[in-house]
Chains A and B, each alone.
Chain A
Amino acid sequence: MLTKEFIGLISSESGLSKKETEQMLSAMNAVIRENLMAGKAIQLQGLGVLEIKERKERVIVHPRTGERTVAPSKNQLVFRPVANVKDELKNL
C-alpha cells in the first residue's frame, strides 16, 4: 500500500479531509525525525516503538579475498511492534 492509499484509508476512517490527513502525516513524520535525532524513541500507542539502536562494530570477511576488516558501528532505526501486533500478524 502506498502513501496515497494509506492517506485515503486514514481519512475515511477518521472523517478528516485527505488534505488535512496528508498535512498531519507529514507533520508526524517531521516530529518523529526530529525526536529521533534528539535521541528519543517514539511510542506509537497500540503499534510499537520506533527507536534508534546501535549496531555494534563487527568483523566482516570479504567473501572473495578473505580479507578481514572491522565494519564500524552504526545506528539503525528499528521498529519494535507491540506483542499484540506481533501476535496478530504472526499467523496470517
Chain B
Amino acid sequence: MADKLSWTELRKAIATRAGVSEKKAGVFLGAIQAQLVEALKTEKQVKINGLGTFRVQAVAPRKSVNVTTGEDILIEGYNKLAFTPEAGVKELVEMGASPLPSPEGKGDLIDPIQKLGAQAEEIVDILGELGQSPRASTEPEPEPVVVPEPEPVVVPEPEPEPVKEPEPEPEYEPIIVHEPEKKKKKSHFWRDTLICMLVLIAMLAAGYFFLRQELSDIIRSFIKPTQTEQVAEQPKVVAQEAEEPVVDETDAEKELIPEGELSQDEILAEFLAASEEEAKEVREEEKEEEQGGLLATEAIREGSRLTWISKRYYGSKVYWPYIYNANRDVISNPSHIDVGTPIRIPKLTQAQLDTTTTAFKQLREEAEAACKK
C-alpha cells in the first residue's frame, strides 16, 4: 500500500490549515477518537459533512459448512462498521489519481477470457439444440479457443518442454490484438446460422401443416393409383349418366325405392320423392342437393377431415356441413368417422355457396352440435 498519513502529520496539517495550535488540533482529534465509536454505539450512524457517513451495519446470521468435517455450522450475526463516502468525495476518488494505476495488460487478459466464456455458452446451447449429450458440450469448449489462435497447437507442447517455456501470457498478448473481432464475428456466425435453421424448420413445418392432405394424396396416388382413381372416378361417371344418381340419393336419404327397377319407375320414384319432400319441406339443403346431384364419393382415409375434403371439392373448408348433411346416415359424429366409410360429395348450387343464409347457418350449427356428441 501507499504510505500513510500518520496521526501526527494529520494533526500538523489540520493545525496549519485551520490556523490553530497543534495542541488544539490534538485535543480535537483526541475527542473524535474518543467520541466517534461512542456515538456509533448509541446512534448507529455518524454523518460528517465533507467526508462521508460511518454506519453500523448488521450482518445477518448465515449457514456455512465446516470445511474439514462437512458439518453445518451457523455463523452468528454481527455488526460491522461501514463507511460510505460522500458523493463528491467518492467522485474525486474515482476520477483522481489512484495509488494503483491498473496495468493495461490486465484488462486485455480479462476481456478475451470473458468472451471465451460467452462463446462457450453459446456453443453449449447450440449443441443442446442438436440433441447431443451435455457431456459432449464440455469437450468442444477448448476447440473455439484453439481454432482462432494462430499458434494453438504449439501452446500445449511447449509447456512440458523446459527449453521454450513461453508461458501463456506472452502468447496471449499477440493474440489479443486480433482476437476480439474474430470472436465477435464467429459468435455472430453461430447465432445467424441458428436463426436460419430455426426459420427453415418453421417454414417446413408450416408447409407440411397446410399441404399434408395434398401430399398424402400424391403419395397415395403413387402407391395405389388404380384404387383411388376408381373410387374417385366411378361415382362421377355414374353421376353423369343421369339416371343412377337418382338411385343413389333415394337410397341414401329415403330408402323408399329399391334398386334394379325399370328406368321409368325410377324416374317416377324420383318425382315422387321430390314432391314428397317439397311437401314436407324438411330442409332446403336436401332439396338442393337432390337437384345438384353428386360430385363424387370418397372413402374416408386415416387422418382425413371433412373440411379438407370440402376444400378439395369446393375450394373452401367452409362448406363441410354440406358433406356431413349428405352423409348423415353413415356419419354420427363428423369429427370421428370410421376409416373406409364411403362419403358422398354433393354438388352445390350457386345459392348454397352463400354462407350467410340462415339455412346454411342452421346446417352448420347442426353439424357442429354433432361433433360434440
Contacts and interface: CB of A to CB of B under 8 A. Distances in A.
A78 B27 contact: no
Interface string A67-90: 010101111111101000110111
B90 to A, nearest CB: 6
Contacts of B89: 33, 36, 77
B13 A31 contact: yes
Contact of B25 (A1, A24, A45): A24
Given A52-B98, A57-B107, A27 B45 contact: no
B355 interface: no
Interface residues of A, number: 65
B342 interface: no
Contacts of B27: 14-16
Interface string B91-130: 0111011111010001100110010011000000000000
B209 interface: no
Given A37-B97, A85-B81, A14 B31 contact: yes
Given A3-B49, A79-B54, A92-B56, A10 B32 contact: yes
Given A10-B32, A20-B24, A40 B10 contact: no
Contacts of A31: 5, 10, 13-14, 17
B43 A13 contact: no
B77 to A, nearest CB: 10
Contact of A24 (B14, B35, B78, B96): B14
B81 A81 contact: yes
B30 interface: yes
Nearest to A43: B4
A71 B122 CA distance: 21
Contacts of B48: 3, 6, 25, 29
A35 to B, nearest CB: 5
Contacts of B54: 79
Nearest to A34: B13
The 4 A-B pairs of least Cβ separation, nearest first, read A79-B83, A29-B50, A14-B31, A27-B18
14 contacts: A10-B35, A27-B14, A31-B17, A36-B89, A40-B4, A42-B4, A43-B6, A45-B7, A56-B102, A72-B107, A86-B81, A89-B79, A91-B78, A92-B56
Interface of A: 1-3, 6, 9-11, 13-16, 20-21, 23-33, 35-52, 54, 56-59, 68, 70, 72-79, 81, 85-86, 88-92
Given A3-B49, A6-B39, 19 more contacts: A15-B27, A21-B28, A30-B50, A31-B17, A32-B5, A39-B2, A43-B5, A48-B81, A54-B99, A57-B106, A58-B110, A59-B117, A70-B114, A73-B102, A76-B93, A77-B89, A79-B82, A85-B81, A90-B80
